[in-house]
Amino acid sequence: MTVSPSSIRPADERSAVDASAFAAEVAPRAHPIVLRGQVAHWPAVTAAKQGPEALAAYLGEIEDGGSARPLEVLVSPPEFGGRFFYLGDRLEGFNFRRERAPLKLLLSELLRLATLPSDQAHSLYANAATAPEHLPGWGVDNPLDLDMGGAVPRLWIGNASQTATHYDGSTNLACVVSGRRRFILFPPEQVGNLYLGPLDRTLAGPPSSMVDPLNPDLDRYPRYAEAVKHAVVADLAPGDAVFVPATWWHHVQSFGPLNMLCNYWWDYDPTNSAFHAMVHALMAVRDRPDFEKEGWRAWFDHYVFGPGAHSAGDHLPAEARGVLGPASPDRTERIRRYLLTALGAR
């Protein structure tokens, strides 16, 4: 079974939007959408269209070498073809190593690798580098005129590669600067058909699917055939963006000798993660007897997932609702203190 754009339904798309249309028509969406030309006006995109050398020169010009921090770069040998993944059938390691390098060194190495045959070139990938720390001039030169709720722009720079199918806990706007990107996206409810790898030993943060969407092994992963039926594909050129709602799964191919993407995660708080709550439930709930789990299912439905969950404490006086009160920084801190005490943390 081979995955190609012709075998997967294209994602919805529209032309670039202004701030009001984004807030009213895009941000509330529960499905991905491509925004053609959304950042075509960025100077970085203009430079990229002139070639890798022009983009490298532009990025070097806006980098503040005195204050910019080195980037974390994933390095994978040529024999893995740019697919950053686990190593071996027993998942005993990864097929890449992590190094730190200044931006200009990364760019010069990418330009050098572009002169080599593909079977001799290492794959390099700097991922999720926060622009203010790693490329301080980025935000001023390439602003996004949409309300991202204060999201920090993050930069992804490398050569041809594959990022394994994973999810983001926050809604994402991914903007292509250079090279082409192909997103294969799966709705959240396909989690059981994607055959996830280890939850607590991941490639780069969130857990990833074990299935290679470009060459799926259906004998080993038969339910993946169902996941593909619900997938959509987004092919992006420089200047295009894709809106990915939180918890949508996505596999990303990056094409070109020097490709670059800038993304924005908003409502991003790694200390307040639904995924961490789910992992804790593995310990606290999953292995209880079935009748107990049904009891806790009722609790979760009443206080978390049910349509009336937000009002489950309304029968109490406002000052007595405690952790059942409406979302706020004070409630978040109260819940954290309660859990730290309950779990015996110091």
Helices (H), 101-181: 103-113, 131-134, 138-141
Residues contacting residue 59 through CB under 8 Å, at least 6 positions apart? 44, 47, 103, 107, 135
- C-alpha 174/C-alpha 287 separation (Å) is 39
Token reading at 333: 């801190």
324 backbone dihedrals φ, ψ, rounded to 5°: -85, -5
Domain at 5-266, CATH from 3.90.1150.10, 2.60.120.650, 3.10.290.10, 1.10.10.10: 2.60.120.650
Other C-beta atoms within 10 Å of 221: how many?
Answer: 17
The secondary structure of 20-31 as a DSSP string is: HHIIIIITT-SS
Query: What is the pLDDT, as a whole number, of residue 345?
Result: 65
Token reading at 312: 């489950």
Query: What is the pLDDT, as a whole number, of residue 197?
Result: 97
Burial of 207 per CB tally in 10 Å (0-12, 13-18, 19+): buried
- C-alpha 176/C-alpha 179 separation (Å) is 7
- CATH 2.60.120.650 residue ranges of the chain are 5-266
User: Taking the model in full, what pTM does it have?
Assistant: 0.93
Cα first-last separation, the chain: 52
- C-alpha 84/C-alpha 69 separation (Å) is 24
44 backbone dihedrals φ, ψ, rounded to 5°: -65, -40
The secondary structure of 310-337 as a DSSP string is: GGTTTTS-GGG-GGGSPS-HHHHHHHHH
Tens of pLDDT, residue by residue, the chain (346 residues)? 555 556 899 999 999 999 999 999 999 999 999 999 999 999 999 999 999 999 999 999 998 766 789 999 999 999 999 999 999 989 989 999 999 999 999 999 999 999 999 899 999 999 999 999 999 999 999 999 999 988 999 999 999 999 999 999 999 999 999 999 999 999 999 999 999 999 999 998 899 999 999 999 999 999 999 999 999 999 999 999 999 999 999 999 999 999 999 999 987 676 788 999 999 999 999 999 999 999 999 999 999 999 999 999 999 999 999 999 998 989 999 998 988 898 886 5
